[in-house]
Homo-oligomer: A and B are copies of this chain.
Amino acid sequence: MPDTRNDLMTTIVSLCKRRGFIFQSSEIYDGLNSCWDYGPLGVELKRNVKEAWWKAMVTTRRDIVGQDASILMHPRVWEASGHLQGFTDPLVDCRECRSRFRADHLEDTKTCPKCGGELTDARKFNLMFKTFMGPVEDRSATVYLRPETAQGIFVNFLNVQQASRLKLPFGIAQTGKSFRNEITPGNFTYRTREFEQMEMEFFCYPQDDEHWYEYWKNERFNWYIKNGIRNENLRLRDHEKDELAHYAKACVDVEYKFPFGWNELEGIANRTDFDLKKHSEFSGKTLAIFDEESKQHIFPYVIEPAAGADRATLAFLVDAYAVEGEGKNKRTILRFHPALSPIKAAVLPLVKRDGMPEKAEKIYNDILDNGIATFLDINLSIGRRYARQDEAGTPYCITVDSQSMEDDTVTIRRRDNREQFRVNAGSAVEQIRKELKEAGA
C-alpha cells in the first residue's frame, strides 16, 4: 500500500492505465512529453465532469448562455489582449550543457543547477504556440493556438448579447481546448501543453463587481464539493497584489490538495473592463452596450471563473481513490460521486450458463433504454468482476444468480459499503434510478 505522496501518484497513474482512464499520448513512440489520452473510462469521466459544469453554468441558468469559438483566431486578438507582448516566461540557457530553465524557478540565476556552467541572461519566451495559415510560412501568415478560451467570448460579446437579447448582468460560457508551450509541464495531467478549459465570463455593472466576485467565489467552491471533493482537500487562496495578471483587479484560486501539494483547479478573477475596452480600441468597434436604465453606453465589468477540465478530472480521480480492507477483503475503489461515474450500473450474471447471461442482457437493455450508462460483464469470476467495477468507480452492480432464475429477483450491490439487497428483476431499473436521484446524479 502506498505510503508516500509520490507513490500515491505512481499508483494512480498505473490504475489509470490498467483500467483505461488515461494513457500516455503516442505511447508506442515512447510518448509525447506532457500529452495524455483519455481511454474508454476516462473519456466518460471527463465528459461527465464537463457535463456537470455545463449543467450548473448554462443549462440551469437563465442568465448564462453558451458558445463555442474556434481555436484559431485573428492574430490581432492576441495583440489586443496583451498575450503577444506579455504572455511570456523568462528563460535562461546553460552555456556549457545547453540545458534550459525558467529563470523564476532557479534559486541562483548565475550557475547551471545541472553542471554548474555559466547561464545566459534571461530572455522572454512567449508561451503561445504559433503556426502558419495558408501556404506561405511568413509573418503575415502567422496565427496562434489560443492560450485561453476567454478571448473567444470577448470578441463575440456583442454578437451573442444581441442574438440572445441579454441584459446585464449575464454570462457567456465555453468549454474547449487551449494550448500553452509550458517549459516545465508535469504532474501527470495537471500541467500539460494541451488542455481543456471550462470558462465563463460574467458581465455586470461596474459598481456590482465585488458582489459578483464574492458570489462566483462561493458558487465555484461549492460546485467541487457538490460533485464529491472532500471539504478538507479544497481551499480558496486569494492572490497577492504582485501575483495578479495585468488585466485583473482581484483573483482567488480554488486549490486542491493533490499528492504533489496544494495546486490551482480554478481561478476566479475580476478582469474589470480591461478586455472589452482593449478590443474596442484595437478593432475600432465599440463593445460598450447601451444601458436602458442609465441611458448611456457602458463597458461592463467581467468576473471570470476559469476552470481546467483536465485538472478537475484529475482532482475527482485522486479524491475518489481509496484502498480499504485487509487480506482477502482488501480492495481498491474509486468513490466517484455517481453523477461523475463512467458506468452507473453494471449488470453481472453470476455464471455464464443456466440462462443467467440472457436474463442479465434483458436488464442491461432496460437500463440502456432508460438512458443510464451501463455495462454488461459476463466473463471472469464474480469477485474479480466486482473488483473491476470498484476500480471503475461504478456505484451499483446488479447480479443475476441462481435464485434470480427461480423467483425473478436480482441483487443490487452498493459500491461504497458492499451492501447487497434483493429487488424484483422488473423493478431493478426503477431502483437504480431512485438511488441515483437520491445521490443527486
Contacts and interface: CB of A to CB of B under 8 A. Distances in A.
Interface string A351-387: 0000000000000000010000100100100000000
Interface string A266-292: 000000000000010011010100000
Nearest to A18: B163
A165 interface: yes
* Count of chain copies: 2
B28 A279 contact: yes
Contacts of A100: 135
A304 to B, nearest CB: 18
Contacts of A164: 20, 39-40
Contacts of A28: 155, 158, 279, 283, 285, 287
10 contacts: A25-B69, A25-B72, A25-B73, A28-B158, A28-B285, A35-B70, A38-B69, A40-B65, A100-B135, A129-B133
A66 interface: yes
A17 B133 contact: no
A77 B131 contact: no
A61 B121 CA distance: 58
Nearest to A66: B43
A118 interface: no
B60 A177 contact: no
Interface string A8-47: 0000000001111001011111111101111111111010
A40 B26 contact: no
Contacts of A76: 26, 29
A60 B135 CA distance: 43
A181 interface: yes
B72 A35 contact: yes
Interface of A: 17-20, 23, 25-33, 35-44, 46, 59-60, 62, 65-74, 76-77, 91, 100, 125, 129-135, 143, 145, 152, 155-156, 158-160, 163-165, 172, 174, 177, 179, 181, 183, 193-194, 279, 282-283, 285, 287, 368, 373, 376, 379
Which 9 A/B pairs are nearest by Cβ-Cβ distance?
A20-B163, A26-B74, A40-B65, A28-B283, A38-B68, A29-B74, A37-B69, A35-B70, A43-B68
Given A43-B67, A60-B368, A160-B39, A26 B155 contact: yes
A72 B180 CA distance: 12
Given A68-B46, A145-B131, A183-B135, A40 B73 contact: no
A181 B28 CA distance: 27
B37 A66 contact: no
Contacts of A72: 25, 32, 35, 179, 193-194
A283 B32 CA distance: 13
Contacts of A152: 37
A193 B42 CA distance: 28
